[in-house]
Amino acid sequence: MTAPSDAQRPPLPGYGAASMEKIVSLCKRRGFIFQSSEAYGGLNGLWDYGPLGVELKRNLKNYWWRVMVHERDDVVGMDGSILMNRAVWKASGHEDTFTDPMIDCRSCKSRLRADQLLEKNGGRQCPICGSKDLTEPRAFNLMFKTYVGATEDESSITYLRPETAQAIFVQFKNILEVSRKKLPFGIAQIGKAFRNEINPRNFTFRSREFEQMELEYFCRPEQGMELLEYWKEERLKFYENIGIPHEKLHVKTVSDEERAFYSKGTYDIEYDFPFGRQELEGVAYRTDYDLAQHQKASGKSLEYFDEETKQRFIPHVVEPSAGVDRTVLALICEAYAEDEAPDEKGKMETRIVLRFHPRMAPIKCAVFPLLKNKEPLVTKAREIVNLLTPHMYVFYDESAAIGRRYRRQDEIGTPFGVTVDFETLGEKDAALRDTVTLRDRDSMKQERVAIKDLLDILRSQIA
Ligand code: ATP
């Protein structure tokens, strides 16, 4: 854990002043993200993903899994339980030290994280009411406590996991045995984590329930520093490959004071959100701390036996730990754009467009018959939907004027639009029979392509 400052900063250049507001409103209007329990006034720091949000999230997780697990022969996956024996959280140090410093404002009764106070004229002030009447900081444990079984007493306490990593450490030996991997090798996991954040803020950026994509990459002690560099670079490439440009990504070297005491090196990969530069992912060289702690507390050996040197030792680990929700938010912020496009009558109007990388876009292709009351057009369009559906998420739309239909897809980031028109039926020019227009979301350009080539063209773009 590092302690970043979430303090409100002026919007960064490149983002309009109101852009976060616009993004939140688009997310709700088009079904990306809703407030959890909205009908009951919501619950702070909790969010639901709607039909498009869940697709975006899934595309991100699937791509991470593909790159981090399937395309490598040195990584395997697992899916651990959210509730674990309390002893895990004692051994990992979370029960005693997974805390943030909390301060109360005596005037307006706000609860604040110590790093959210305003610094003014050498003194500290409440960012809500400006009062200087503040309590001393005290440690607040971020884990949600719960009870397992029918009795609510000391012996049944455990916690919702605040990170997915611990299940990997605790299963290290089992997975080593079944996978028969040799060092260096990794175990990857994607799953929910829960933190009772003192002050959830910035939309989904700091939530109380979120998902992590974590890799624990085990190695020999002498490989740790080199692998830290390697994983930092790999992870930067990942973000570029999902459409986050290099210039908006920053690597912060976490200082000795900010770093966990057991870590020999940590980088934060940060992104320029509209509300400031903030962490997307931490890449940390955690030494052998975690495995050593669990070996000591459980009394079970977590050592690795090196066949060649005949040595036994506890492996070291490098951990790239990314947030699904933060990355989804970065993808939406990055994709959001407004430009000018002609309406039905040729008059220029503002167009809202989400310029997602086709790989991430929730819907890959929309298929439109030019007119809904012309049976042959509808039939052809349906055939195209059937052709594409096994390979990608396709949306069929026959209602409203074609320009309106394009606009609706632009707003949700669908990269391709296929229109079936009279040329497709070969009515005007037999040479154009079985061709369609393929429209590009960003340039709005349309080209004529043969239906038989459509699948290959689209697949090469979304892979
Ligand atoms: P922060 O300093 O922002 O609280 P952290 O350094 O505590 O984050 P880690 O413990 O390193 O975060 O967790 C790894 C990743 O999990 C983070 O980089 C982030 O993407 C994600 N994450 C952590 N806390 C939250 C949260 N409250 N809401 C959403 N994502 C989170």
Assigned token pair, 32: 């990306």
Name the pTM for this structure. Answer: 0.94
- Compute the distance between CA of residue 430 and CA of residue 437 in angstroms, rounded to an integer: 16
Helices 51-65 and 324-335: angle between axes, nearest 10 degrees: 110
Of 357, 361, 276, 279, nearest to 320 by C-alpha is 279
Q: Is 352 left (phi over 0), alpha (psi -120 to 50) or beta?
A: beta
Q: How far is the CA of 323 from the centre of ligand 1 (A)?
A: 6
Assigned token pair, 263: 């870590």
In this structure, are residues 454 and 436 in contact, taking their beta carbons and an 8 Å threshold?
yes
Mutate to test the pocket of ligand 1, among 196, 259, 321, 331 (most ligand atoms within 8 A of CB): 321
Cis peptide before 10 (omega within 30 of 0): no
Pocket of ligand 1 (CB under 6 A): 1-2, 4, 163, 195, 197, 206-207, 210, 212, 279-282, 321-323, 325-326
Minimum-distance ligand 1 atom for the alpha carbon of 210:
29
- Compute the distance between CA of residue 54 and CA of residue 50 in angstroms, rounded to an integer: 6
Atom 22 of ligand 1, residue of closest alpha carbon: 323
Mutate to test the pocket of ligand 1, among 94, 98, 196, 212 (most ligand atoms within 8 A of CB): 212
Phi, psi of 141, deg, nearest 5: -75, 130
Q: How far is the CA of 444 from the centre of ligand 1 (A)?
A: 38
In a structure prediction context, what are the per-residue pLDDT tens digits for the chain, which is 463 residues long?
333 344 444 444 455 544 899 999 999 999 999 999 999 999 999 999 999 999 999 999 999 999 999 999 999 999 999 999 999 999 999 999 999 999 999 999 998 998 889 888 888 999 889 999 999 999 999 999 999 999 999 999 999 999 999 999 999 999 999 999 999 999 999 999 999 999 898 999 999 999 999 999 999 999 999 999 999 999 999 999 999 999 999 999 999 999 999 999 999 999 999 999 999 999 999 999 999 999 999 999 999 999 999 999 999 999 999 999 999 999 999 999 999 988 778 889 999 999 999 999 999 999 999 999 999 999 999 999 999 999 999 999 999 999 999 999 999 999 999 999 999 999 889 999 999 999 999 999 999 999 999 999 999 999 9
Q: How far is the CA of 23 from the centre of ligand 1 (A)?
A: 21
Atom 5 of ligand 1, residue of closest alpha carbon: 1
Atom 13 of ligand 1, residue of closest alpha carbon: 321
The DSSP output letter for 127 is T
Q: How far is the CA of 231 from the centre of ligand 1 (A)?
A: 18
Q: How far is the CA of 331 from the centre of ligand 1 (A)?
A: 17
360 three-state secondary structure: coil
Q: How many C-beta neighbours within 10 Å does residue 38 have?
A: 12
Mutate to test the pocket of ligand 1, among 279, 317, 328, 331 (most ligand atoms within 8 A of CB): 279
Kindly give the pairing relationship between strand 365-369 and strand 394-396. parallel
Q: How far is the CA of 223 from the centre of ligand 1 (A)?
A: 26
154 three-state secondary structure: helix
Q: How far is the CA of 360 from the centre of ligand 1 (A)?
A: 22
End-to-end Cα spacing for the chain: 34
In this structure, are residues 166 and 61 in contact, taking their beta carbons and an 8 Å threshold?
no
Helices (H), 92-157: 94-97
Atom 23 of ligand 1, residue of closest alpha carbon: 323
